[in-house]
Amino acid sequence: MKVEISRRRFLQGSVALSIASGTALSSSTILASSKEKPQVALMKKVPTICEMCVNKCAAIAHVHNGVVTKLDPNPYFPKSRNMLCARGAAGIHALYDPDRLKYPLIRTGERGDGKYRRATWEEANEYIKDKLVKILEEEKDNRSCIGYCAGEGLAEHTFKTFMSDKFGSSNFLNHSTICLQTAVSGYTLTIGGYGQADLENAKYVIMAGANRAEAILTPDTMDMFKRTRGRGMKLVVVDPRFTNTAMHADTYVPIRPGTDLAFVLALTYVAIIDQVYNRSYVAKNFVDFDKYKKHIIESEYTPEWAEKITGVPAATICKIAHDFMAAAPQAVYYQGRRTTWSKNDFQLRRAMALFTALGGGIDVKGGIVFGKKLPLGEHTTTAPMYANAKPRIDKNLAAVVGATGTWVGWRNMVEEGKSPYPIRGMFVYKQNPMLSVPNSAKTRTMFEKMDLVVVIDTMPSDTAMLADVILPECTYLEREDPVQSFAGIEPSIAVREKVIEPMYESKPVNEIMRGLAQKLSKPLWEITKKYDEDVQEELEDSDEAEFYEENGFDLAEPFMHDQEETNKHMFVEKYGEEAWGVLREKGVFYPNMLTYFKKVNNNTYEYYPKDKKFYSVLKLEEEYDPVAFLHDICVNPVDVADLKRSFNTPNKKVECFLGSMAAKGVDPMPVWRDEEYVNVPVGKFKFITGRHAQFTQNATQNNIMLLELMRENYLWINDKEAEALNIGFGDTVEVTSSIGQVRIKAYPTPKIVPQSVFYIHGFGAKSEGLTFAHRNGASDNEIIEDTIEPVHGCANMHETLVSIRRV
Amino acid sequence: MNYAMALEYQNCINCKACEVACKEENGVQLGADKQRIWIGVVEGTIFGKPFANLYPSQCNHCIDAPCVSVCPTNASHFAQGGIVKVDAHKCILCKGCMEACPYDARFVDDTMVAVDKCTFCDHRSLVEGGTTACQATCPTKVRTFGDLDDENSDIVKLLKTKRFFFQKEYTGTLPKLFYILPDDEAYAKQSVSHNTIIHTWEDIKPMYDEARTRRSKEWRR
């Protein structure tokens, strides 16, 4: 008699196995053990860290019979304050997405047609090795001929360690230049750090463009919306759109896109002319303030001047400047975590930082604070030196091109054939440049030109469809990731533990890198020996095997340890075995956690006692006990702000004038330049993009639970303009820019300023592998022009003009 | 035990975490019209300026629940602590309860072939220190679930210090979603209508206690 195993029995068997023995599934082991009774309880709770966006909230996964049934917030983590947003709660559907990449795939058709064959890991690695050997042979061991990019995440560094430290390519790209690099850099060069706005205590907050209700950031979102609407925090929202954040504002200020700099400069003008800024603070803590003051006054950045540019009434600007300074130092011009908008973005962020500093709201409770970071041990590796690896190709495209490059600039060089040496291939980890980098058509051409494209991902994204080899990573619920320390007012360490074993043939990136490195080490070493004169010279008087070993040419070495083992090593070194036990059990650790942590009620938890929080970190020159001083409520906060501080900038002060930037052709002080502003001609619209709270960029686009909340994106258009164009709700419109055209449904609304149109980023996937996301709405990067700003080469997301036509 | 929910609706940012957590926790059928919990959005313009108010909502678990009264098969019933539930196996899908409900809090679950609704997560919220999935997951902590009979419960402690109102109080069903009015007068005026009756714990308690005593005979244990 033939014995058949039903699907139900198959699942029961697999559950028993994955929990009881923890071994990988294979049909033979299931057959062997399906007769045995499961020996352990089948319910468990595992602490993990969410990866549905970049915030990394702590979660508890409920596992029932080997199936993840629920993700609940983990109350122990101070950064996420016992919450999981819609995306976090829907993480289960990332894990059980039917479209997930299940096994390695090798392309059989043309790039983009989606034809792949199933391969083993061995075959896939072999394929990559053959191509790489051929390419590196032709490029004479110039490792930089292979570019690589990675999306943000706890395991990003693991991938980077392989590509940068071990493989040796200098051409790295990540989210920075299509994200917040100008903001981070503008604040860092001005006040010494990007910092964190203390929204639990700030009394006056200007939020310009930032949208904390729809682009959730922890702990800012949770802290601020309990205090808006007459409950302690005055909120001014400056935005071309009436967002869910604007809904909470005491004052909503609609503004023309691209004119924020004029707005801030006018605020600064008012503060200076009316002498409402904190003069003793400025005297003690600013350098070159006289130059800045002179510049602001002589340039005549008056509110009346700004009104013409921004559309914000001069009286409103005056009132905001006065109210802000009256509340200072508990007043913040919120840094935001925004993409670069326009060419002046770096100057905008500098002006914002300087305006906050004028009130003294830096490194003080209720202002921008820098917090503390708990140390972790180190995990080191030896990076081999490759004499023929060339520097990155895009370093001259902007004044300061960092180690993460300029995505748009780099892509354009490769696509237009302007690279000084050929870029022959690309490794893509957890990023989807086809949807995330402006001008998708160019990104596509770039990939089509390459000889080897490898994509490591969990989903068959639009970018994966252009790959030669697709390697399936497991989702965040199926792996342990590097332990991480989270800086802040209430610092802590958290770890993502593996909740269930990886499904299908997917693997964590650590193991993917291990397998690939083991395959590549020796063949690539042969190429290095052949072309690398430094190595040849060294080898003349040393033993090859020893040299290979000592100089890190064994590429697999950093990936040989199990991630949990590495984490334990990094953690126990600093905090000991007992603390390790706490971290594994709770998922979170900070010194004294078990005594500090208190549940006040189901909604409120206390992580640190009030006097143990890290509001101020910088060394103050005057002698006093900073802890006692800063937490004594009898002390006037303005006096605290006044104290002379040591900023983490070159002059240890707030920097008004950046001489080093002037040498690179960048304005040393924020300047408004009419010629840089993109005017909107009659009949055209400026296209702006943004986020919302139900999807993370394009990473969650196929999540069926989130698609319940929003099926597709809509074009926001001012209702009066829509009426004139005879466009009604739900009508399909054609949006055309100089580089592309999309069709999308319209949403006429009074919630957007005239001459601007908007739709949410992250929709419009074309990959047929994405059953649910396929062709929902439109992708913004099909129409956003590929220009970059001059300081860091960041993509200008809000400078594209479009025309709209009803179809 | 008399379970209820207070909502600091001023905190709501319409992120819909509650809706997803509810669906995941309770296995609610997928579909845009299948919701145990939702956010009511009221938006428009005043003198050309946009405004919006959010009213997070779900079943009110009314003390005088009309959905229970109209049910011909006793499928709709009061469970422990006055939580209004549906026995799926008794439901004949007459949909009388859906008609009777002033809040449109019920829908047909096609997989169970029965009417489905919010249960206040009684499988997880009634244990010591437990709460509903929506309260637990909420980023801005809009909700406070608790027992109106217990003077020391989170909800009673909160209600004693605040003013509040109910949605559609005029239907007389004695709903148990308490909308906490902002302390700030200007904001309070912005989110309620002229006809909204504002309550305090002292004024509402006798009426709710009386009704509870009357109807709790029907509560199952």
- The number of CA neighbours under 13 Å toward the Cβ of B191 is 30
Average pLDDT over residues B184-195: 90
Q: What pLDDT shows up at residue A637?
A: 79
Q: Which ranges of A97-180 does DSSP label H, i.e. alpha helix? A: 121-138, 156-160
Collect all residues with Cβ–Cβ distance below 8 Å to A637 and sequence separation of at least 6: A329, A330, A364, A365, A366
Q: What pLDDT shows up at residue A611?
A: 85
Q: Domain spans of chain B? A: 3-218
Instruction: Determine contact: B180 vs chain A, CB below 8 A.
Output: no
Structure confidence by residue, pLDDT tens digits, B200-212: 999 999 999 999 9
Average pLDDT over residues A638-667: 90
Helix and strand counts by DSSP (H, E) for chain B: 8, 10
| For residue A662, pLDDT beyond 70 | yes
Which chain B residues in 108-167 lie under 8 Å from chain A, judged by CB atoms? 129, 131, 133, 135-141, 143-145, 154
Cβ of A21: how many Cβ atoms within 10 Å?
12
Q: How far is CA B191 from CA A226, B41, B185, in A?
A: 16, 11, 10
Nearest-Cα residue of chain B relative to residue A232: B184
**Distance between terminal CA atoms of chain B?**
11
Average pLDDT over residues B186-197: 90
Structure confidence by residue, pLDDT tens digits, A317-350: 999 999 999 999 999 999 988 789 999 999 999 9
| For residue A27, pLDDT beyond 70 | no
Average pLDDT over residues A632-656: 82
Q: Which residue has the higher pLDDT, A631 or A697?
A: A697
Per CB-CB distance under 8 Å, the chain B contacts of A691 are none
Nearest-Cα residue of chain A relative to residue B187: A229
CB B136 within 8 A of CB A602: yes
Query: Closest approach of chain B CAs to the CA of A692, in angstroms?
Result: 8
Largest CA distance in chain B: 54
Strands A756-760 and A714-718, sheet pairing: antiparallel
| For residue A584, pLDDT beyond 80 | yes
| For residue A62, pLDDT beyond 90 | yes
Q: What pLDDT shows up at residue A13?
A: 33
Give the fold, CATH level 3, of A107-177+381-469+511-559. Answer: Rossmann fold (3.40.50)
| For residue A518, pLDDT beyond 70 | yes
Closest to A53 measured CA to CA, from A694, A494, A709, A773: A694
Question: Average pLDDT over chain A, rounded to whole?
Answer: 92
**A229, B183: Cβ pair inside 8 Å?**
no
CB A587 within 8 A of CB A494: yes
> Backbone dihedral region of A123: left (phi > 0), alpha (psi from -120 to 50 degrees) or beta?
alpha
Residue with tokens 């206040």: B120
Q: Could you check whether the bond before residue A329 is cis, i.e. omega within 30 degrees of 0?
A: yes
Per CB-CB distance under 8 Å, the chain A contacts of B48 are 750
Instruction: Determine contact: B172 vs chain A, CB below 8 A.
Output: no
Class of the domain covering A192-372+640-662: alpha beta
Per CB-CB distance under 8 Å, the chain B contacts of A603 are 135, 141, 143-144, 154
**A231, B17: Cβ pair inside 8 Å?**
no
Per-residue pLDDT band at A642 (split at 50, 70, 90): confident
- The number of CA neighbours under 13 Å toward the Cβ of B39 is 25
Q: Rounded CA gap, A175 and A698, in Å? A: 13
Per-residue pLDDT band at A216 (split at 50, 70, 90): very high
Query: Closest approach of chain B CAs to the CA of A502, in angstroms?
Result: 21
Average pLDDT over residues A304-316: 98
Structure confidence by residue, pLDDT tens digits, B1-34: 999 999 999 999 999 999 999 999 999 999 888 9
Nearest-Cα residue of chain B relative to residue A93: B24
Average pLDDT over residues A565-574: 95
Q: Rounded CA gap, A2 and A38, in Å? A: 25
Closest to A301 measured CA to CA, from A318, A278, A285: A318
| For residue A9, pLDDT beyond 60 | no
| For residue A7, pLDDT beyond 70 | no
Question: Average pLDDT over chain B, rounded to whole?
Answer: 95
Q: Rounded CA gap, A435 and A763, in Å? A: 8
Average pLDDT over residues A539-566: 94
| For residue A619, pLDDT beyond 70 | no
Instruction: Determine contact: B46 vs chain A, CB below 8 A.
Output: no
Q: What pLDDT shows up at residue A5?
A: 34
Q: What pLDDT shows up at residue B32?
A: 81
- Here the ipTM equals 0.95
Query: Closest approach of chain B CAs to the CA of A304, in angstroms?
Result: 22
Q: Which residue has the higher pLDDT, A640 or A239?
A: A239
**A92, B24: Cβ pair inside 8 Å?**
yes
Q: What pLDDT shows up at residue A629?
A: 53
| For residue A402, pLDDT beyond 60 | yes
CB A656 within 8 A of CB A283: no
User: Residue A127 is inside which H or E element, if any?
Assistant: helix A121-138
Average pLDDT over residues B114-129: 95
CB A710 within 8 A of CB A692: yes
Average pLDDT over residues A430-451: 97
Per CB-CB distance under 8 Å, the chain A contacts of B51 are 247
**B10, A750: Cβ pair inside 8 Å?**
no
Q: What pLDDT shows up at residue A594?
A: 95
Q: What pLDDT shows up at residue A304?
A: 98
| For residue B61, pLDDT beyond 50 | yes
**B140, A73: Cβ pair inside 8 Å?**
no
Sign of the four-CA dihedral A616, A618, A621, A625: positive
Q: What pLDDT shows up at residue A630?
A: 53
Q: How far is CA B35 from CA A314, A772, B27, B30, in A?
A: 46, 20, 11, 8
Query: Closest approach of chain B CAs to the CA of A557, in angstroms?
Result: 41
Residue with tokens 């490591």: A456
List the structure tokens of A553. 């040419």
Q: Rounded CA gap, B107 and A761, in Å? A: 32
| For residue A30, pLDDT beyond 70 | no
| For residue A618, pLDDT beyond 90 | no
Instruction: Determine contact: B50 vs chain A, CB below 8 A.
Output: yes
List the structure tokens of A146. 């292979």
The structural architecture, per CATH, of the domain B3-218 is 2-Layer Sandwich (3.30)
Residue with tokens 């005491």: A250
Q: Domain spans of chain A? A: 1-40, 107-177+381-469+511-559, 192-372+640-662, 678-806
Q: Specify the DSSP class assigned to residue B220.
A: -
Give the fold, CATH level 3, of A678-806. Answer: Barwin-like endoglucanases (2.40.40)
Nearest-Cα residue of chain B relative to residue A219: B139
Lowest mean pLDDT among A117-131, A315-329, A361-375: A361-375
Instruction: Determine contact: B74 vs chain A, CB below 8 A.
Output: no
Residue A268's SS3 state is helix
CB B181 within 8 A of CB B215: no
Strands A685-690 and A654-655, sheet pairing: unpaired
